[in-house]
Every structure is written in structure tokens, then in C-alpha cells.
Amino acid sequence: MKNYVFIAKAIPEGTGGKAVPHRREPGSVGLVKKQFYTFAEPPHEMELSSGAKLGPITLAYETYGRLNSDKSNAILILHALSGDSHAAGKYAEDDKHPGWWDNTIGPGKAFDTGKYFVICSNVIGGCQGSTGPASINPATGKEYGLSFPMITVHDMVRAQIHLIDHLGIDKLLAVTGGSMGGMQALRWAVSYPDRVIASIPIATTSKLSPQGIAFNEVGRVAIMADPNFNGGDYYGRTVPREGLALARMIGHITYLSDDSMHEKFGRKLRGKKSFGYNFNVDFEVESYLRYKGDTFVHRFDANSYLYITKAIDYFDLSLPEGSLVKAVEGTKAKFLIISFKSDWLYPPYQAREIVKALMINGVDVTYCEIDSRYGHDAFLLDEGEMSKMITNFLANVAERSGIREAASS
Amino acid sequence: MAEGARIDHSVILDLIPAGTKVLDLGCGDGSLLVKLVRQKGVTGRGIEISEEGVRACIAKGLTVLQGDIDQGLRDYPDGSFDYVVLNQTLQAVKKPDVVLSEMLRVGKKGIVGFPNFAYWKMRAYLFTFGRMPKTEFLPFEWYDTPNIHFCSVLDFTEYCAKNGVTIEKTVYLSTDRGGRVLRGVRPNLFAENAVFLLSARKS
């Protein structure tokens, strides 16, 4: 009874234990520098989705790797709510942390800077060098504050197009990002089909669920209820730090999963053996959230939090057509869509809706649901599987497109 | 058996004309689909339920969706593929009848490859030992096997007749001597594996 090869349903290989999240030191892009590009100088302001006009606009951006001679190896990385242009490397040797997606960008990593030219810019509305509510309004000489126009994910992409034009790149080899970055990756591929060869939207959705909007709204209300908010006019004074910290704490709960909270904190007490019987920090999880909230207020502007969360809420890929299937009709990009099983903020069923709409249109779409326990945060942690998939997918895209690698000298 | 030498793959490769549009249901690690894409230049798509399988397909440069074929061909428009392949998967799906009718709606033609449970060695095993056949390549116990819907060549033929499915071609296989096509009689007894080329009967 041998050679029953036909009968067995293939046994999946490598079903063993999963690697734990880790950050790799080798393969760093090294020291990097933030750059700036300013455009849309009056009277050529950029028109926004709302109909308002904005200009001048500055985008802060960073690049890693080398652009090849025919400028065909560029990959645009798109950041999420609290991200910025600093996706990889360090500004100085003694920086405590590298860029936010350093585990995927660098020589030999998923976005291999030995092969690709990687770009990441801070979104408009942001507060890390790009024009946002904390920027000076040239018309008044004062910070915009809440007079900054409402922005959308599409507006973020519109601004990025100016940057890509400025860099002389006609067609991006790939656009990619997680969460709100994934929304941008979708918008790029759907609205600018001639400028994108491949799109890798990760842990994202074609429209945020009411549950997601609800969490964003609680964060915004927390900020606006802070006594120091002052209608968004707090620059040069005490900032609404309590409100912003609270918004961030709420956010962090949504990025984790029940499982990952059990693993990370359990019910462990923070620096004590028994309950304090007061309202100071008792549990590790309380300490974590407070720490995340406290550190966030030092690097993030509360008004930017309002504007960007609203942009996330407004995002709906099916508009203006009203049907996702219709909306993605003209898309030409090759897609790799990744979701994470334990992500309840951007759950896999929402990714599958995008997959379905693309598939009905005959778009070349590959979809994988990674069996991670780390919730929405999984796209930042990268347990290794995501990187491998991206590496293989990009290698295939580059090969099909006949991309030449950047000259090594 | 080496991947490159699988006789069922060779048979399916021969059944599918070059340059067609093919959907492989339960494509596993993509070993059949990659041959179809590379050797026959088909536009290939796969659906695979396991993350491991999907990852292996991506590594081969294939376009694959992670999904459960028991749940979802309904999103695919009628006749959107020239061929829909269901190889060594029929016995593992929850609702073979639904999957079969869906594959013949989505595909102009369907190719089903499955193990023949009435193969004489299976009968002998059951007869001799009085237990569910278990082999090196079928290592599962009755309670943990993914293969939940075995059928015989006769069963399948009868299903087609009853359900308006036209059998356009059948190929019966044996793994003897490295795998070969059987030309003799009584396939229900001697075929270890069968490949059916199907289409929906025109009404």
C-alpha cells in the first residue's frame, strides 16, 4: 500500500510554531535625513476634496536606497494615523528608536533598499514637517489651528503626487502601507492607475466601520473637551495634553487584541505585590496605556489628531460611484492585500470586500490572512510572514516589469 | 514522488489549452498552477484555504486568494474562467455538490481529479483489516482526516448523470511504475485516481 500520492490532500508545510516578533538590527538603512518639498504656492493652490484650496504645501519626506537610471524602482511607503516620514534608519547614531517600519525597510528586507528606491512622506494635515494645522498660515502669520481646511485620504495622495512628480518618477513600482497607509495605497491604485504598478494595502479597509468611527470620535471629543484646547488655538501655550493622551490610550486599546493584552500584560501588577487600593496605577496594562499617552503628547499635535482621524472616517473607496465594484473598475495595479486574523479594528472581512470587488473586475489580486494574535498592531510588528510575502510579491512584480536594479556605484 | 513527475498534473496540463484562463480551487502550494502558468501560459488564479499554501503560492509568483471554496465562488461572475480545476480537493470540501455546480457556473469547463475509493487496494484494505484504509500518503485517522467526502468512479459518474453534468473526457490513473494512464477496463476497480473533464449540460 505505498505510493498513495494521489489520495492525500496535500499536508501544508511548516505548520510549526510561529516566530515571535522581533526587530532586526542588521540590514539597517543607516543614518537618514528628513527632506522637504514645497509646492502649490499661491496662486496655484491645491484643490482639496472639500473644494477648499490649500497652499503653499510642504511635504516632509525621506528616501532610502537609490533611484535607478530609468526611475522605475521607486516604492512609496504610506504611513498610518500617528506615523511620519521617518519610516527607517536613524537620524543620529544615539537615537533610541529607528523609523516606524525599520523592520521591513533596508538592505535584504522586504522593501529591499539594495534593489528599490523607497520614499516615505508625512501626510498633509500631519505634524512632523508637512503642512498641517500647526503650520503657519501665510495669510495671517499665525498657526492655522482649526482654520486649517478639512483634508481627506485622497488629498494626502494628491499632495504625494506633487512629490513624486518632483522626484521625476512617472510610475511607482509599488505603493504600500498599513491602516490609513493602506487606504492611501488603495486610493493611489484606484484613482491613479497609470502611476502605480503594484499596490500592497495592509490591515486596511475600503471604509472604516461605524465601530472605528466611534473610537475616533471618542478620541476627538477627549481632545476638544480638554480645558486647554481653546478651540484649537493653543500653540505657544499649554497644549491639551490630557485630552490627546486619552485619545491615544483609547487608540492603543483598539490596536491590540484580547490575546495580545493577555500575553503582554495579563493582570500583572506594576512594581507592586498587592493592590494599592487607590486610583494610581496598579496594573501593567494601565501603566502601558498611560506611558503611551504621555509620550504621544510630546511628539504629536492634538489638532493633527483631529484632522487625520476625520480623514480616516471620511474615507470611502466606493464613493462617488456608490459601489465598490464600480469604483475600482479602472484599476490596473497588481495587488497584494494582507489582513490579520485578530485585527478587530480593520477586520479581515473588510479586506475581503476589497478583494471581491477587485476580483469581479478581473484585477490581479492576491490575498492573505495572516494568523497573527497581535491585532491591528501586527502590521507594524511583522512576525516575519508578512515580510516574506512582500519580498516574494515584489520580486515577481519587478521581474514582470523588467525593473533594473539601482546601479551599485 | 517528485513534484515534477505527478501524472495527474501531466494529464491536467494536457487537457488545458495554452493561453486560457484557469482557476485552481484548493490550489495548495501552487505546484499544479505554476506548471499551468509556466508551461501553458495560462492566466492562472488560485484559491487556497491555508495561509501556508498561500505563502508558498506567492513565493512561486502566483496570484492566489486565501479563501474557503465552500464559502465563496458566488462572487465570481458566470463563465469568468475557461477552466476551473478541482484537483485532489473534492474529497476535502464540505459540500461537493455545491462546489461542483459552482465550478461549472464560473468555468466554461471543469476538471475534477479525485482518488477512487473503490480502487482494489482500498477494497482489500477494508476487507482484510476491517478498518478505514490508512497509508503512507493517507496518514490520517478517520477522526482527523481532512478528506471527508470520498467517492468512487461509479459514484461520481452517477452524480454527473443525475445533475446535468456532461462528462467530456475521463482519464484513469495508477501510481504503478511511477504513475501511468490506465487503458484497460473496469476503472472503478483498477483506477487509483481519476480525472474528469466536465461541462454543464446545455439546456
Task: Report the distance separating Cα B166 and Cα B163, nearest Å.
Answer: 9
Domains of chain A by start residue, with CATH: 35-209+317-400 (3.40.50.1820)
Query: Which chain B residues contact residue A14 at CB under 8 A?
Result: 52
Interchain pair A14, B192: CB under 8 A:
no
Name residues whose C-beta falls within 8 Å of residue A141's C-beta, 6 or more positions apart in sequence.
Answer: none
Interchain pair A12, B52: CB under 8 A:
yes
Interchain pair A4, B6: CB under 8 A:
no
Interchain pair B138, A8: CB under 8 A:
yes
Question: What pLDDT is stored for residue A25 in this prediction?
Answer: 56
Selected for mutation to probe chain A from B62, B64, B66 (highest A CB count within 10 Å) is B66
Task: Report the distance separating Cα B149 and Cα A355, nearest Å.
Answer: 29
Task: Tally A–B CB contacts below 8 A.
Answer: 115
**Per DSSP, what are the bridge partners of residue B151?**
B116
Distances (CA, A) of A274 to A268, A284, A288, A393: 10, 13, 18, 51
Task: Report the distance separating Cα B199 and Cα A378, nearest Å.
Answer: 44
How would you classify residue A124: left for phi > 0, otherwise alpha for psi between -120 and 50, otherwise beta?
A: beta
User: Which B residues, 158 through 187, put their C-beta within 8 Å of a C-beta on chain A?
Assistant: 173, 175-176
Interchain pair B55, A10: CB under 8 A:
no
- A179 annotated active-site: yes
Q: Which amino acid is at B70?
A: D
Characterize the bridge pairing of strands A365-370 and B107-115: unpaired
**Exposed / middle / buried, residue A117 (Cβ in 10 Å: 0-12, 13-18, 19+):** buried
The answer to whether A76 and A101 have CB atoms below 8 angstroms apart is: no
Query: Which chain A residues contact residue B89 at CB under 8 A?
Result: 9
Interchain pair A352, B62: CB under 8 A:
no
Catalytic residue of the set A179, A257, A339, A342: A179
The answer to whether residue B62 neighbours chain A at the CB level (below 8 Å) is yes
Interchain pair B63, A366: CB under 8 A:
yes
Dihedral of CA atoms A194, A197, A198, A201 in degrees, nearest 10, equals -30
Spatial CA neighbour of B89 closest among B164, B5, B148: B148
- Residue ranges in chain B modelled with pLDDT below 70: 1-5, 136-137, 177, 202-203
ipTM of the complex: 0.90
Query: Which chain B residues contact residue A9 at CB under 8 A?
Result: 88-89, 91-92, 146-147
A402 to chain B, closest Cα gap in Å: 14
B170 to chain A, closest Cα gap in Å: 16
Interchain pair B91, A6: CB under 8 A:
no
The answer to whether B11 and B171 have CB atoms below 8 angstroms apart is: yes
The owner of cell 510610475 is A171
The answer to whether A188 and A76 have CB atoms below 8 angstroms apart is: yes
Model pTM score = 0.91
Interchain pair A359, B54: CB under 8 A:
no
A398 to chain B, closest Cα gap in Å: 11
Catalytic residue of the set A206, A313, A376, A377: A376
Domain that holds residue B158: 3-200
The owner of cell 487496494 is B121
Question: How many DSSP H helices and E strands does chain B contain?
Answer: 7, 8
- Domains in chain B: how many in total? 1
The answer to whether A179 and A81 have CB atoms below 8 angstroms apart is: yes
Q: Which candidate from A3, A7, A368 shows the least CB-CB separation from B54?
A: A368
First-last CA distance in chain A? 60
Catalytic residue of the set A226, A313, A343, A377: A343
**Per DSSP, what are the bridge partners of residue A369?**
A339
Angle between helices A302-314 and A241-255 (to 10 degrees): 40
Q: Which amino acid is at A227?
A: P
Task: Report the sign of the C-alpha dihedral through residues B65, A399, A385, A344, in that order.
Answer: negative
**What's the grid cell of residue A302?**
492634538
Domain of B170, CATH number, reads 3.40.50.150
Q: In this predicted model, what pLDDT tens digit does every residue of A300-319 receive, in sequence order?
A: 999 999 999 999 999 999 99
B160 to chain A, closest Cα gap in Å: 21
pLDDT in tens, chain A (409 residues): 333 333 333 333 333 334 444 444 578 999 999 999 999 999 999 999 999 999 999 999 999 999 999 999 999 999 999 999 999 999 999 999 999 999 999 999 999 999 999 999 999 999 999 999 999 999 999 999 999 999 999 999 999 999 999 999 999 999 999 999 999 999 999 999 999 999 999 999 999 999 999 999 999 999 999 999 999 999 999 999 999 999 999 999 999 999 999 999 999 999 999 999 999 999 999 999 999 999 999 999 999 999 999 999 999 999 988 999 999 999 999 999 999 999 999 999 999 999 999 999 999 999 999 999 999 999 999 778 999 999 999 999 999 888 766 544 3
Angle between helices A153-166 and A302-314 (to 10 degrees): 100
Question: What pLDDT is stored for residue A18 in this prediction?
Answer: 40
Selected for mutation to probe chain A from B8, B25, B31, B65 (highest A CB count within 10 Å) is B65
- Report long-range pairs for B136-144 (Cβ below 8 Å, ≥24 apart): B136/A1, B136/A2, B136/A4, B137/A3, B137/A4, B137/A5, B137/A6, B137/A7, B137/A8, B138/A4, B138/A7, B138/A8, B139/A8, B140/A8
User: Least CA distance to B88: which residue of chain A?
Assistant: A9
A66 to chain B, closest Cα gap in Å: 25
Question: What pLDDT is stored for residue B5 in this prediction?
Answer: 66
Characterize the bridge pairing of strands A74-78 and A105-106: unpaired
A81 to chain B, closest Cα gap in Å: 28
Query: Which chain A residues contact residue B76 at CB under 8 A?
Result: 359-360
User: Which B residues, 12 through 51, put their C-beta within 8 Å of a C-beta on chain A?
Assistant: 28-29, 50-51
Task: Report the distance separating Cα A128 and Cα A124, nearest Å.
Answer: 10
Question: What pLDDT is stored for residue A104 in this prediction?
Answer: 96
Phi, psi for A197 (deg, rounded to 5): -85, -40
Q: In this predicted model, what pLDDT tens digit does every residue of B20-33 receive, in sequence order?
A: 999 999 999 999 99
Interchain pair A392, B88: CB under 8 A:
no
Query: Which chain B residues contact residue A325 at CB under 8 A?
Result: none
